[in-house]
Structure 1
């Protein structure tokens, strides 16, 4: 029995209230993480105390100091686990009807990869919730890049990855202005003015996320060109890159990521979940 068959068997059949609940909880947790990242960067851009440019793990860590922080961290960890399960459900059961040709399998692998991106964040939040502390384990992204750079044609592989990430960022911006992102939210029950607010919030959010991904991709391209793994950066370094352009640039993108977080919360409340 293949791994895909085994995991598929573990996923409840359609319709599944459990999977739907996990997906919605996952969108909410993702929204909280992005909103925190945005608000921390906005505070940094405006010179407020407590402001910092933060990646996902650092944003989650700020929850620890809030009242009931340990419980909140546990909920975030569980929510992100739900998001991971939903992404794997999309990949394995082809809920979006992408098919099994090369293009379809690529899109489905992308869903699984999207889920795995949050695995380290979920584990980090869980460690903080259970132990009160967590080890990020160094910069795994730079360590892996350093290994790849030593492969034959390693520089080209790293640059190719950077171009793929830049392409993903551009696709996010395309989704923002084509409006294709809105098909994942069922806001038909809302008044027209509220629907418009939700739509514009999504546009701003997806645009900001595309910009950040584009900068991260640029870091990978530079790492390949320079044969220097230290050039690779995360959202934290992308914010620093924007800050170097001036506080206004950082503030605008920070507000955009806050908008993306809010849109994910709306998606949690009014989701369109195909195939379950």
Structure 2
């Protein structure tokens, strides 16, 4: 006799029992659907990371050019400034379209990671902190992608200065505004500290399948990630100072911070090192584009479908 769920073949004595074809069809359809969803997820993630790599590379190139020609743009470059420069170059509008769409896809990927926990971070405190970082990262680059689109449509002059100060002023205008601004600065400071830790410990390598012959490049990326974390921490310090003083003009974004660094003793060296750090982070984004371990597997699809239906 055959086990439950199986049917006897025409010659059971010669051939073993087999499952009916109807039982196999759903499994094949599920496998095909899984492959298709995984492929789309893979494309969204890598396209977004490539767009991020391009943005960091362009900003770094402009900063280095400014360092080599003092007085040309001492206050630093924001992504908006970079997009404005790019838009006027041959083929620049096509690149802007790619950047805008890519960063929007990056935001979608981060949202999927956070909401459906495709990275298996869990639902404990540390897991939710990691997932919160994902959604905040996605939102920040979504804004950059929108800025790229606005520059392309002629609705944005590309002037990035003042954005952090404007946000600081909005918070200060609220009840307990100083506390809100102080809290924002503390969050930024914490994000920077985590990035510095990831770079210093090499923890970032866990999510990549890096070839063994890229060790020297990986060392440089570790320095860049840690250096970018230090820059973010400085931004957090300035935002906290703005909250303590109750003055929005005390807050500084990254572009404004680079301009401030250039005015300090050894400022040109600090400015140049910051530019190289930003470029190194672009290399890290490029490494992610190629070697990232995509974390959407078969166990994620039922969870994904359940949450969408709910």
TM-score when normalising by structure 1: 0.86
Matched positions, count: 260
> Which of structures 1 and 2 has the bigger CA Rg?
2
Name the structure 2 match of 1:229.
Answer: 248
Name the structure 2 match of 1:16.
Answer: 38
RMSD of aligned alpha carbons: 2.3
- CA deviation digits over 1:17-45, x for unaligned, max 9? 11211110111111111112222222222
Contact kept in structure 2, 1:40 and 1:50, CA below 8 Å: no
Contact kept in structure 1, 2:52 and 2:282, CA below 8 Å: yes
Cα distance, 1:231 vs. partner? Answer: 1.5
Which structure 1 segments of 5+ residues have no match? 1-11
- CA deviation digits over 1:90-138, x for unaligned, max 9? 1011022121234322321221111000122111212233x24525698
- Where relative contact order (Cα < 8 A, 6+ residues apart) is larger, the structure is 1
- CA deviation digits over 1:246-267, x for unaligned, max 9? 1001101111111110121121
Name the structure 2 match of 1:29.
Answer: 51
- CA deviation digits over 1:137-173, x for unaligned, max 9? 9845433322322444321221222122112112111
Name the structure 2 match of 1:215.
Answer: 234
Matches within 5 A, 1:155-194: 155-188=178-211, 192=212, 194=213
Give 4+ residue runs of structure 1 displaced > 6 Å after superposition.
none
Contact kept in structure 2, 1:43 and 1:51, CA below 8 Å: no
Q: 1:144 to 1:235 in 2, by over 3 A?
A: closer
Cα distance, 1:218 vs. partner? Answer: 1.4
Rounded to whole Å, the distance in 2 between the matches of 1:16 and 1:68 is: 32
Rounded to whole Å, the distance in 1 between the matches of 2:187 and 2:179 is: 12
Q: 1:212 to 1:133 in 2, by over 3 A?
A: same
Rounded to whole Å, the distance in 1 between the matches of 2:149 and 2:191 is: 29
Rounded to whole Å, the distance in 2 between the matches of 1:66 and 1:205 is: 28
Which structure 2 segments of 5+ residues have no match? 1-32, 298-310
Name the structure 2 match of 1:248.
Answer: 269
Q: Secondary structure at the match of 2:256?
A: helix
Q: 1:61 to 1:208 in 2, by over 3 A?
A: farther
Whether 1:270 aligns to 2:291 is yes
Q: 1:187 to 1:102 in 2, by over 3 A?
A: closer
- CA deviation digits over 1:14-72, x for unaligned, max 9? 75211211110111111111112222222222226865511122222222132211111
